[in-house]
């Protein structure tokens, strides 16, 4: 019953979000973010701790301001996700700009498969949602299901409107292999903490961070290019995405190659987060594992 009620609140919030202007939706999203911060004291503590680890020596005021801005980004992303059904194709095209789309088109022509990689940065929902309107490449998006089944069904119905196919990360292994081996494209986020015993540790803000190895494993096994990009919010509420290829032609499909390729894409993420720290989701315990803890 609780999950059903929460989903109805999301529907109601979506009705409001669809009726306001872009700037009104941003203000609504900031309100959502403030509510999330106030009802989740433990997550706020994790946010401050993560920021202090990543930016040692920062003032308490900067930490609080950046944490609050990160919550605002979460809320704005939610407000825009709930408004997706009301956006026309023309609306979407005016909301986001991609540089480097030729990288996707070139990779698709190679026929080796394509891995589109991003993170919980800016508006990652808009990043995936809008892509089919700019690149004529069918994409299967690997998603983490919501614990609330009703909300999961609702939000996924929005995410698929432009033609993306969604697959649960818990059932994606065979699908990813099948898609890449047939020259198709997959999209996934790989910035949250992975398992300590099955994945790899690479530096993130100078600290070892357990990171999913799947993108590197698949790229090196199939020779699939990795294209990375982030939907960075601009002052007018639109988004800019600078797509870049993660080089790996010099790497072998072995443990050393997997670790190095993982380090490369995590380094690109860190560069983006350092530029705009308020746009990343700091509410997750990114450094909760330490190397060797399960050995």
pLDDT of residue 198: 85
Q: Does residue 218 form part of some domain?
A: yes
String of DSSP letters for the chain: -HHHHHHHHHHHHHHHHHHS-HHHHHHHHHHHHHHHHHH-HHHHHHHHHHHHHHSTT--HHHHHHHHHHHHHHHHHHHHHHHHGGG--HHHHHHHEEEE-HHHHHHHHHHTS-EEEEE-SBB-HHHHHHHGGGT----EEEEEPPPSSHHHHHHHHHHHTTTS-EEEEGGG-HHHHHHHHHTT-EEEEE--S---TTTSEEEEETTEEEEE--HHHHHHHHHT--EEE--BEEPTTS-EEEE-EEE--TT--SSHHHHHHHHHHHHHHHHHHHHH-GGGB-TTS-TT---TTTT-
Q: Does residue 96 form part of some domain?
A: yes
Q: Does residue 285 form part of some domain?
A: no
pLDDT of residue 196: 83
Model's pTM, two decimal places? 0.94
Q: Does residue 291 form part of some domain?
A: no
* Number of compact structural domains in the chain: 1
Q: Does residue 226 form part of some domain?
A: yes
pLDDT tens by residue, 100-138: 999 999 998 889 999 999 999 999 999 999 999 999 889
Q: Does residue 104 form part of some domain?
A: yes
Average pLDDT, the chain: 95
Which domain range does residue 181 map to? Answer: 2-279
Q: Does residue 289 form part of some domain?
A: no
Q: Does residue 288 form part of some domain?
A: no
């Amino acid at each position: 019953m609780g999950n059903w009620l929460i989903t109805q609140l999301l529907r109601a919030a979506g009705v409001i979000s669809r009726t306001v202007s872009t700037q009104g939706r941003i203000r609504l999203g900031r309100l959502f973010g403030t509510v999330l911060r106030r009802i989740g004291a433990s997550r706020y503590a994790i946010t401050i701790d993560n920021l202090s680890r990543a930016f040692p020596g920062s003032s308490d005021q900067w930490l609080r301001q950046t944490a609050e801005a990160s919550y605002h980004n979460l809320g704005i992303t939610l407000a825009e996700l709930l408004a997706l059904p009301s956006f026309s194709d023309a609306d979407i095209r005016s909301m986001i700009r991609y540089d480097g789309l030729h990288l996707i088109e070139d990779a698709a022509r190679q026929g080796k498969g394509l891995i589109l990689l991003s993170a919980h940065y800016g508006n990652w929902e808009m990043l995936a949602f809008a892509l089919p309107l700019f690149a004529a490449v069918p994409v299967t998006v690997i998603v983490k299901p919501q614990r609330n089944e009703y909300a999961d069904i609702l939000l996924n119905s929005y995410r698929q409107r432009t033609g993306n196919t969604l697959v649960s990360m818990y059932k994606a292994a065979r699908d990813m292999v099948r898609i890449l081996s047939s020259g198709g494209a997959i999209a996934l986020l790989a910035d949250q903490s992975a398992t300590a015993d099955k994945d790899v540790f690479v530096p993130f803000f100078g600290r070892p961070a357990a990171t999913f190895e799947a993108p590197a494993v698949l790229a090196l096994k199939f020779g699939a290019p990795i294209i990375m990009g982030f939907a960075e919010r601009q002052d007018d509420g639109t988004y800019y995405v600078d797509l870049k290829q993660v080089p790996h032609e010099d790497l072998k499909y072995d443990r050393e190659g997997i670790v190095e390729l993982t380090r490369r894409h995590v380094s690109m993420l860190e560069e983006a987060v350092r530029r705009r720290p308020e746009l990343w989701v700091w509410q997750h315990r990114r450094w909760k594992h330490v190397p060797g803890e399960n050995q």
